[in-house]
């Protein structure tokens, strides 16, 4: 089929090129270069602490040397189980400089999920913090020997903690991070190549079972440079911008779109421990924040804030909504409120959160995800016809190729074989491309839920519900949620003579099996659940029913 090559390039911002030759470095070099170039500029503000690029670079070097002297070797895996705190970027860059691989763990996960993920990647060391919720899990890992060592950060280091800190008992498997840093010396750090694995980032892929995406230094460096090359409507002034970091740093969106994206240009990053709309507004008005990457729930909260129309948004220039679709009308209302463009795009964990952006001047419409950014190639393939490329306007599976696309799933050859076709990653998203190279997502091939910007996989919830006595069959789907975008609803068929249970009882049962974002917000019992002729449970039927129900309510 003859289609124009890179037809979308005509819509690129001025100066952007699809075949741009990026300066791809390791993330260690990226940090070192910024530490030198912006030595006296502030890099982080967090609680009562302000730290410059130069001082932070020295801390990273010191911790990296301490880790090497502590016995960390190139290729070792170290999990980061941390909230938003300066300890996260400190540990992230130091682990990489020590030649090791970061494994991100989510504080939203239940303890059994965390155990499973540690086992999948055979990770035996964790860097965490002495906050109660984290200590509860990490000390359980120490006690049951899920890990060999826990490196603990003192939350009070960056200013008095507003949270309750747990006491940590003396244990040979527990080491305080200041003890590691005290071991720093002039030890030589290992050479780190751009092709080395930097990060194992967990995702459900296109199936819902936890997998660790292998992201190299080159993948992550490419993603950052792709974003820089796709010029914003305002000029980025190196060393002068201020970014709000309220998104969780363990998530690929915040890691690439906030931390790495702003460190490379010497921005000041305001790290927030949790989402507080009043704090965000203060940073916009008083700290003159110029960049805010967020998820729909946060933009929704801003739009409905009592002071929304009184806020001075004049400093705010670089705004992005990601992680989940933002309703069309909400997007338009946000742009009117803040007086600047609200960037929209699409990406996945497997693509380092990069993929497409809606270019300046392109009219926003429902389902639009924009055009491929520099060095990214996207095709729409017919998965029912040997993955042949379809014509403009026809639907198929979105397939992506580029330097930002991951190297594969860790130790999962069967999943890797299914995930790629002729060098393109099969995303599981169903989309279309128009004659101008503008893409839309119209459906998901797999029944994935996006709740508050986080991927929620029904199979995980279903497996947990099946552990409850009396459950014969179960289907979980996503339903509209005004605040989160989507949340989970469970449809349950009971075994003969089994008693029904309430939603609250189900939530309590699932409390230690699922993350908070995975817990269903609705429950419905059915005498029978829809099945195919072969006996396969059909989630699609229930999705269509719910969509029809919501459509009738909307039109009523």
- Residue pLDDT, tens place only, 282-338: 999 999 999 999 988 789 889 889 999 999 999 999 999 887 777 777 888 999 999
C-alpha to C-alpha distance for 383 and 390, rounded to whole angstroms? 10
Q: Using an 8 Å Cβ cutoff, are 80 and 54 in contact?
A: no
Our count of domains for the chain comes to 4
Whether residues 37 and 159 share a domain: the answer is yes
Whether residues 87 and 123 share a domain: the answer is yes
Average pLDDT, the chain: 90
The whole domain housing 301 covers 234-340
Q: What is the CATH number of the domain that holds 255?
A: 3.40.50.980
Whether residues 32 and 137 share a domain: the answer is yes
Domain's final residue, options 444, 468, 490: 444
Query: Which residues of the chain have a pLDDT value below 70?
Result: 1-4, 167-170, 204-208, 231-234, 443-447, 532-536, 553-556
Whether residues 146 and 60 share a domain: the answer is yes
Q: What was the pLDDT predicted at 68?
A: 97
Whether residues 333 and 393 share a domain: the answer is no
Q: Using an 8 Å Cβ cutoff, are 254 and 244 in contact?
A: no
Q: Hey, how many other C-beta atoms are within 10 angstroms of the C-beta on 385?
A: 10
3-state secondary structure 402-433: CCCCCCCECCCHHHHHHHEECCEEEEEEEEEE
Domain's final residue, options 428, 444, 460: 444
Domain's final residue, options 411, 444, 477: 444
Q: Determine, yes or no, domain membership for 324.
A: yes
Q: Which of 540, 542, 537, 536 is nearest to 523 (CA)?
A: 542
pTM: 0.85
C-alpha to C-alpha distance for 284 and 279, rounded to whole angstroms? 9
Burial status of residue 496 (CB atoms within 10 A of its CB: 0-12, 13-18, 19 or more):
exposed
Q: What was the pLDDT predicted at 277?
A: 95
> Given the DSSP bridges, would you call strands 49-52 and 42-46 parallel, antiparallel or unpaired?
antiparallel
Radius of gyration of the chain (CA): 23
Q: What was the pLDDT predicted at 1?
A: 43
Whether residues 419 and 476 share a domain: the answer is no
Q: What is the CATH number of the domain that holds 487?
A: 3.30.300.30
Q: What was the pLDDT predicted at 207?
A: 56
Q: Hey, how many other C-beta atoms are within 10 angstroms of the C-beta on 392?
A: 14
Q: Using an 8 Å Cβ cutoff, are 270 and 243 in contact?
A: yes
Q: Using an 8 Å Cβ cutoff, are 390 and 44 in contact?
A: no
Whether residues 90 and 73 share a domain: the answer is yes
Whether residues 336 and 402 share a domain: the answer is no
Q: What is the CATH number of the domain that holds 395?
A: 2.30.38.10
Whether residues 251 and 268 share a domain: the answer is yes
């Amino acid at each position: 089929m003859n289609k124009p090559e890179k037809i979308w390039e005509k819509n690129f911002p001025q100066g952007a090129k699809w075949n741009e030759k990026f300066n791809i470095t390791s993330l260690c070099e990226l940090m070192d270069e910024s530490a030198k170039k912006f030595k006296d500029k502030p890099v982080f503000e967090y609680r009562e602490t302000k730290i410059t690029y130069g001082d932070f670079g020295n801390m990273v070097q010191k911790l990296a040397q301490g880790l090497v002297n502590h016995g960390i070797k190139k290729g070792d895996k170290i999990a980061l189980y941390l909230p938003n705190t300066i300890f996260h970027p400190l540990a992230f860059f130091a682990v990489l400089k020590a030649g090791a691989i970061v494994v991100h763990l989510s504080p939203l996960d239940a303890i059994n999920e965390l155990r499973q993920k540690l086992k999948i990647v055979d990770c035996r060391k964790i860097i965490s913090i002495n906050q109660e919720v984290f200590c509860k899990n990490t000390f359980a890992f120490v006690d049951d020997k899920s890990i060999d060592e826990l490196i603990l950060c003192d939350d009070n280091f960056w200013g008095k903690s507003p949270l309750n800190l747990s006491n940590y008992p003396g244990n040979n498997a527990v080491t305080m991070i200041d003890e590691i840093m005290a071991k720093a010396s002039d030890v030589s750090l290992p050479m780190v190549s751009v092709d080395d694995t930097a990060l194992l980032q967990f995702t459900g892929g296109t199936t819902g079972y936890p997998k660790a995406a292998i992201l190299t230094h080159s993948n992550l460096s490419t993603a950052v440079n792709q974003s820089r090359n796709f010029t914003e409507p305002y000029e980025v002034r190196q060393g002068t911008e201020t970014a709000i970091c309220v998104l969780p740093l363990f998530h690929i969106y915040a890691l690439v779109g906030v931390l790495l994206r702003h460190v490379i240009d010497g921005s000041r990053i305001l790290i927030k421990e949790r989402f507080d709309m009043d704090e965000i507004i203060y940073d916009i008005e008083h700290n003159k924040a110029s960049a805010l990457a967020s998820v729909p729930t946060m933009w929704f909260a801003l739009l409905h804030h009592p002071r929304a129309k009184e806020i001075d948004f004049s400093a705010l220039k670089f705004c992005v909504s990601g992680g989940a679709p933002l309703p069309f009308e909400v997007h338009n209302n946000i742009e009117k409120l803040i007086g600047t463009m609200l960037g929209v795009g699409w990406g996945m964990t497997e693509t380092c959160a990069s993929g497409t952006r809606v270019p300046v001047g392109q009219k926003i419409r429902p389902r639009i995800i924009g055009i491929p950014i520099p060095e990214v190639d996207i095709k729409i393939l017919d998965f029912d016809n040997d993955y042949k490329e379809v014509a403009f306007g026809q639907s198929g599976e979105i397939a992506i190729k580029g330097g930002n696309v991951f190297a594969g799933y860790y130790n999962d050859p069967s999943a890797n074989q299914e995930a790629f076709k002729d060098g393109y990653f099969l995303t599981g998203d169903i989309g279309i491309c128009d004659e101008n190279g503008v893409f839309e997502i119209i459906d998901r091939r797999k029944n994935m839920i996006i709740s508050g910007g986080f991927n929620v996989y029904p199979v995980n919830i279903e497996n947990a519900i099946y552990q409850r006595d009396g459950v014969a069959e179960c289907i979980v789907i996503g339903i509209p949620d005004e605040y989160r975008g989507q949340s989970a609803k469970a449809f349950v068929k009971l075994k003969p003579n089994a008693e029904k249970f309430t939603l609250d009882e189900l939530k309590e049962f699932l409390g230690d099996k699922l993350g908070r974002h995975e817990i269903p917000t609705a429950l419905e019992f059915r005498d029978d659940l829809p099945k195919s002729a072969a006996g396969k449970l059909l989630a699609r039927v229930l999705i269509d029913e719910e969509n029809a129900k919501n459509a009738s309510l909307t039109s009523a």
